[in-house]
A and B are shown apart, each in its own frame.
Chain A
Amino acid sequence: MAGSWVDAILAAGAVPASYVPDASAGRTDLDEFTGADLVEDAELRTRSVADARPLSPGAVGFLDGIEQWRVVGYGGVTPIVRGYVAAAVRRRGPDRRLCTTSEQSRELAVTRLASLAAPVRRALETCGVDVVEFAAEEAGQPARAIEAARRELERARLALERALAERCLAQLGPDEWLVVDGVLSDSVALSAHPRAVGVIKSHGAQYFEGAELERALTLPAGHRTSVFEPRSRGARRAIYSWYLRFWPWEGNDLLYGLVRVEARAHADTLARASAMSAWLLRERSPLSTPDARWDRLLYPIHDVETYLRSRAPNDLLSHHASRLPRTGS
């Protein structure tokens, strides 16, 4: 269908374009300081998890999502973006192999309909593609419009992931856990579930300052911080969280090998924080190379991404062909 609606808007007068922006740079809505309340210790401490007995669930589902997009045309200076979002849960059982248990995808066009010429708008509206609009104030400048389109796409992905996660939670067995790539606190169901874990690789949001921040970000490998509760922002739910270092950061970067774990705000989480950390530490192997984020990316999550990318429409990827202007003939 993708080809058909793109052809339709081009036929309707949109100027063809081919621009694939950089890959996802992480969530854009968490880039701020919010603060946190410690729940395990009076002040943020570092704790070794070397002696902790790792949690060993009978089965684990791993959830992740992808978004791919391409500017496929311009109506005037308003970009028309073709986007694709997908999410999947891959389950690992006793055989240690991953297999897909559920997945969902969605293709959408992101633009501002009112800024398009009538024929292009009609073409978009009649060809059956989901159209998501960004705000009118973003449509004036192409750069802002593209950024707005990206945010809309991200929202669509997060929604897809959340829906899939909630559906998966409903089917989770008694000895089965769900590991989510990202925060849990966006979803009521996820943040309240006893066997859901969020692993956050990007650290746009900061919860500490001063010595505690330094302690958190210079955490030695194989250690975790005290459990804390990030202060709520907006509609976010109460959640327990802690930092965990997979690999030694010295010689690399402060954030190298550093993840933040989220789990239900419950006394059980407090009791199992070290066991869960030891389990996640075991998940460092196998390495998720060649992904550049391998120091923080769990292999099963990497596997879900690989799976989703292999099923995404291949015409959304950037072309190897030259972008030089075409010659007259």
Chain B
Amino acid sequence: MIQTRDPEPVGRVVATELKPATPHQFHFWTANETTIGIGAIVRVAEPGKQPGKEEGERVVYGVVTDGLAYSDLATPLHDVVGAEGDPAKAAESPTIRQEIRLWTAAVLRQHPEEPLQPVPLGAVYVATDADVAQALRMDAYVAGTQPTGIPVGLYTAAGLEAPVYLDADFLLGPEAAHLNISGVSGLATKTSAVEFLLASIFQHFPAHKGRIAALCFNVKGPDLCFLDRPGALDDADRRRYERLGITPQPFERVRYYAPFKADGVNLNTLRTHPDLVGDVEPLVWGLAEVLDFAEVLLNRDDIDAKADAFIDFLSDRVLNKEFDDGFGGSHRVQSFADLDGLFRAIFDGLELSGRSDMWRTHHIATIRKVRNRLSNISTRCKGLVTDDGPSHDLPWGRFEDRTVYVVDVANVDPLGQDLVFARAVSKLREHLERRDLGVDAVVVFVDELNKYAPGDGPETYVRKMLLDISERGRYLGLVLFGAEQFRSQVHRRVVGNAGTTLFGRMDADELATPGYHVLSPAVKIKLATLPIGELMLRHPHFTQPIFVRFPRPAVLRGRDGVERFPPGADLPFEEAVVRQLVRLDRRIRPNQVKDLIAERRPDDVRRALAAVRRTRPDDALAYFRRMLGARVAPAAAPAREAVPPLNPISEEPY
């Protein structure tokens, strides 16, 4: 276990009654000029033994958590006296006072582990690659017949660059799971860290653990829109990739999904450059998809048994069934338009009959509320929710190994984002429970947990679902990678269940919150000043937080992507339809399409286009023509009948 070597010690453990060495902490001094710093891993050898050459010697690994420097100056006043009150003279003293660099280190590991004893007062050595592996207990999972190490970055201190690995069993389940990353916007490189780690997972996820994919929600700007495009790397990045055993390349398989804009034909994403937009699949949901997650649309004031019961009624008894409204009308509800027709029939029927405020045990106020919420989503999320067309969804049951599925909801209304998130994750859970998703594990990356899983505020469906993933996901292979700016303001159970935690540069106010009291002031100041690309890492195998540096992800950054591939301007309706059909069948001539859709209702065109997209026939134009159907002259609007007032308040004429 112990390597043979002949190193030079860099320090020596000291212990006094006031600062004793304990089984968990020790102090050591070094020369003033030293490579040791906060976060450095050191190795202590038992005194009187040749390091690494005797069996049974006690070896202790520690990580530096604090540092002190002081001189033999008795009081500051003596410095003033010695310099005769002139600070410039103090610097001219012919002799520099004796100084000490005294470091505090937290024990990472002792060998042998039993009996657990105070750290010996021995020589201190800078850790080597092998020491880092030992100190972090990585030897248990990086080597062996079925290694489960996932490179997460390089430990870089004291001139060393040693790879640090996470245990896949503890990052992606089943032993523990989930990753949480926090830090200030722009400087903590949270998104970059996740992109790098996903690449590492895809290249190092052990074969014996099966297939894995990732579902990433792009919730702001173009962050995740160019994962399939190579980014700029410098020599240092390439060296780090090589050290970590990762090939620096963009993701080989990325599937992009984005809803339409309100026009129903232009995609609502920043990945609309003509060279790239062809890869983006539309994400369109109809009534059935929305109704399953109608709870998402209800705020706290709305949550009551009556609304729930009515929504359940609609799902069970009305949707996709022949349904008699009780007023002589028959409905087959398949779209929002159909549903609105049913609602209108109910209101009209009740008003005309004047018999009651109740319809099939549901109060009219409840019906109006549900109608209002449902019509609200179809209005606010027009483009995501189709009023009367077929849906186009993620490939449930056909997820591919080592594939990233990006759902771009950056420009979608917050309500729509909630809906997308709730539905996508619920579907993942359903399929993973049934083991028919196509992969064995899925990493779900959710940024802005401060928004989706806040520690306080109303109970939302999304937060409940995130809690559910956090607490049960590891058994299913549903792994949450969450990111946020203020960890202290995310629900405790969401962050608490994350087996692995990364911290980028932190805000000083955030570090002052109780959750960070376990960190020394020195570690906090390091966190507050962390350079880009460096993170503090906690993992179940590591008894103390470790600082690691990761290379830039080998993908095009979002803001570089929009510069290199500027988003295309929205096309006029006709042009957008032409482009979508041409993408499906290159033989199609634009004029053929334009002739077909001239004077047609846009909704009919959208519906026909969606059918082509879903079916992907060999002859797209012919299928499109068939779906459009024959041209029908617009029907005259029916005369509006006078409707008597519902339940007059009084018989009095005034």
Interface residues of A, Cβ cutoff 8 Å to B: 92, 95-98, 282-287, 289-290, 299-300, 303, 306
A206 smallest CB distance to B (angstroms):
29
| A289 cross-chain contacts in B, Cβ below 8 A | 73-75, 78
Does B354 touch A at the CB level, under 8 Å?
A: no
A95 smallest CB distance to B (angstroms):
8
SS class, residues of chain B in contact with chain A: loop
Complex CA–CA separation, A290 to B74 (angstroms) = 6
Does B81 touch A at the CB level, under 8 Å?
A: yes
CB<8 Å pairs between A and B, sample of 20: A92-B95, A96-B93, A96-B94, A96-B96, A98-B95, A282-B92, A282-B93, A285-B82, A285-B83, A285-B89, A285-B93, A286-B82, A286-B95, A287-B81, A289-B73, A289-B75, A290-B74, A299-B93, A303-B95, A306-B98
Pick the contact of B79 from A95, A97, A283, A286 — CB < 8 Å? A286
| B74 cross-chain contacts in A, Cβ below 8 A | 287, 289-290
Complex CA–CA separation, A303 to B95 (angstroms) = 10
Q: Which A residue's beta carbon lies closest to that of B80? A: A287
| B82 cross-chain contacts in A, Cβ below 8 A | 284-287
Interface size, chain B (Cβ < 8 Å): 19
A282 smallest CB distance to B (angstroms):
6
| B96 cross-chain contacts in A, Cβ below 8 A | 95-97
Pick the contact of A282 from B75, B81, B94, B97 — CB < 8 Å? B94
Interface residues of B, Cβ cutoff 8 Å to A: 72-75, 78-79, 81-84, 89-90, 92-98
Complex CA–CA separation, A303 to B73 (angstroms) = 12
| B79 cross-chain contacts in A, Cβ below 8 A | 286-287
Pick the contact of B94 from A92, A287, A290, A306 — CB < 8 Å? A92
A130 smallest CB distance to B (angstroms):
28
A229 smallest CB distance to B (angstroms):
28
Complex CA–CA separation, A98 to B95 (angstroms) = 7
Q: Which A residue's beta carbon lies closest to that of B96? A: A96
B71 smallest CB distance to A (angstroms):
8
Q: List 5 additional A-B contacts (Cβ < 8 Å) besides A285-B89, A303-B95.
A: A98-B98, A284-B82, A285-B92, A290-B74, A303-B98
Q: Which B residue's beta carbon lies closest to that of A291? A: B74
| B94 cross-chain contacts in A, Cβ below 8 A | 92, 96, 282-283, 285
Q: Which A residue's beta carbon lies closest to that of B32? A: A97
Contacting pair A300 B81 (CB below 8 A): no
Q: Which B residue's beta carbon lies closest to that of A247? A: B81
Complex CA–CA separation, A282 to B92 (angstroms) = 9
Contacting pair B95 A96 (CB below 8 A): yes
| B78 cross-chain contacts in A, Cβ below 8 A | 286-287, 289
Complex CA–CA separation, A213 to B379 (angstroms) = 107
| B75 cross-chain contacts in A, Cβ below 8 A | 289
Top 3 A-B pairs, shortest CB-CB distance:
A285-B82, A289-B74, A290-B74
Contacting pair B73 A286 (CB below 8 A): yes
Q: Which A residue's beta carbon lies closest to that of B90? A: A285
B34 smallest CB distance to A (angstroms):
15
A279 smallest CB distance to B (angstroms):
8
Q: Which A residue's beta carbon lies closest to that of B83? A: A285
Complex CA–CA separation, A299 to B98 (angstroms) = 10
Contacting pair B72 A306 (CB below 8 A): yes
B72, B79, B92 — most chain A CB neighbours (10 Å): B72
Complex CA–CA separation, A289 to B95 (angstroms) = 14
A209 smallest CB distance to B (angstroms):
34
| A287 cross-chain contacts in B, Cβ below 8 A | 74, 78-79, 81-82
| A92 cross-chain contacts in B, Cβ below 8 A | 94-95
A284, A286, A289, A306 — most chain B CB neighbours (10 Å): A286
Pick the contact of B97 from A95, A284, A290, A299 — CB < 8 Å? A299
Complex CA–CA separation, A284 to B89 (angstroms) = 12
B31 smallest CB distance to A (angstroms):
11
A143 smallest CB distance to B (angstroms):
35
| B93 cross-chain contacts in A, Cβ below 8 A | 96, 282, 285-286, 299
A282, A287, A290 — most chain B CB neighbours (10 Å): A287
Complex CA–CA separation, A195 to B75 (angstroms) = 34
Q: Which B residue's beta carbon lies closest to that of A54? A: B94
Complex CA–CA separation, A290 to B93 (angstroms) = 18
Contacting pair B72 A300 (CB below 8 A): no
| A97 cross-chain contacts in B, Cβ below 8 A | 95-96
Contacting pair A299 B81 (CB below 8 A): no
A264 smallest CB distance to B (angstroms):
22
Complex CA–CA separation, A92 to B90 (angstroms) = 17
Q: Which A residue's beta carbon lies closest to that of B98? A: A303
Q: Which B residue's beta carbon lies closest to that of A300? A: B95
Q: Which B residue's beta carbon lies closest to that of A285? A: B82
| A282 cross-chain contacts in B, Cβ below 8 A | 92-94
| A98 cross-chain contacts in B, Cβ below 8 A | 95, 98
